[in-house]
A = this chain, B = another copy of it.
């Protein structure tokens, strides 16, 4: 797509009178509180390198420790066991790629079929090193099959990587049971959980869970992007993926940047100080919006589980007879922003492997619509969407004839 056509597109598109942003999965802004936490560190304090022995360096080191501890506390882990990285993608990669250096004899990695692409692709990249990847299937609600997990474990198993919550369909995985099964079989099998979609949504105590590695995300709790975290259990010496001059952090060279850390920590503070309140709030909005749309729009399917088995912030519906591109475009023109698991709704043209894994047919995946709810969403946005989206769907179906794709 050329720049000019985007400009033209935007002119044609216009702007709706009201707007509802639900595409937090793919992009987010920060609120004034998080922004104000970053501001002084951009402009006037903590700009030294925390590894350098002068006053600005020490002040940075002190601030660094204070802010980082807020994040560690939210997981009930010690600050020294929390590494900062640039993204949850990097955290997932360090875990998956890094374990091959921890035990060179074992050659099997087990993942579920609904892991994030950063886990699946990192695992796949290990084929060349003679690593075998076993993929655990999931139920129609996306729940990992623990019996098959149990069967696949053997003395050749290096690691198991299972997400805590699925980022697309909101499935809360039986992660505690999974870890118990793995560790009961063999304490030496590493267990990694990608908790990016779970962090701040469900109670996570990495110590109590007895997990070896845990990925968390700043952006997914409305902190800034370009910073994330990786919990590493005491005594495990993971290696960084690439090489450089290490400073305070030892898993990701050059990652130390106070403004982003302070923003991350502020987002953590807000999310965890009001943990119950925020999650009850999004859950209420979720159910109102999800069931409201299900009731008013014909031929709708809910992707993923319902009730308390589903992440409180996740709505994923399939509008049959609609195509993802038409859905996101027509919604966008009406001020509603969400994404679809259809291949044609992003420039990368990848269909959702998750909808396929739960057995959705192409026509269902095509019409899928992912909306996430955060503390920054309002009841007004939900009401506006409840009024507007049925008309959008009707219009799309009237144009395409609601064809069975």
Task: Report A's interface with B, CB cutoff 8 A.
Answer: 1, 3, 6-7, 9-10, 13, 15, 21, 23, 26-32, 35, 38-39, 42-44, 47-62, 65-66, 86-90, 92-93, 97, 116-118, 121-122, 124-125, 224-227, 241-248, 253-255, 257, 259-260, 325, 328-329, 331-333, 337-339, 344-348, 350
Contact = CB atoms under 8 A, between A and B. Distances in A.
Contact of A259 (B117, B224, B348): B224
Copies of this protein chain in the complex: 2
A3 to B, nearest CB: 5
A59 B247 contact: no
Given A6-B58, A89-B253, A253-B89, A245 B347 contact: no
Nearest to A1: B61
Contacts of A21: 56
Contacts of A65: 3, 6
Given A6-B62, A247-B348, A257 B53 contact: no
Contact of A43 (B35, B51, B66, B333): B35
A10 to B, nearest CB: 6
Nearest 8 A-B pairs (CB), nearest first? A121-B243, A89-B244, A54-B332, A26-B49, A118-B244, A93-B242, A29-B47, A87-B254
A378 to B, nearest CB: 16
B118 A53 contact: no
Contact of A122 (B32, B89, B242, B325): B242
B26 A52 contact: yes
Contacts of A54: 23, 328-329, 331-332, 337-339
Contact of A27 (B6, B7, B57, B90): B57
Contact of A42 (B7, B57, B224, B331): B224
Contacts of A43: 29-32, 35
A31 B43 CA distance: 6
A48 B27 contact: yes
Given A86-B86, A89-B254, A253-B89, A52 B328 contact: yes
Contacts of A347: 50-51, 53, 247-248
A47 B28 contact: yes
B242 A86 contact: no
A346 B244 contact: no
Contact of A23 (B56, B97, B244): B56
A3 B69 CA distance: 11
Contacts of A49: 23, 26-27, 346
A252 to B, nearest CB: 9
Nearest to A340: B53
A299 to B, nearest CB: 23
B44 A243 contact: no
A166 to B, nearest CB: 15
A6 B63 CA distance: 10
Nearest to A239: B125
Contact of A97 (B1, B124, B242): B242
B244 A93 contact: yes
Nearest to A49: B26
Given A42-B35, A52-B346, A226 B27 contact: no
Given A86-B86, A226-B257, A243 B27 contact: no
A396 to B, nearest CB: 14
B117 A244 contact: yes
A53 B246 contact: no
Contacts of A118: 242-245, 253-254
Given A27-B56, A35-B43, A52-B328, 8 more contacts: A23-B49, A27-B57, A35-B39, A35-B42, A54-B337, A86-B255, A226-B257, A241-B242
Nearest to A117: B245
Contacts of A26: 48-49, 51-52, 57
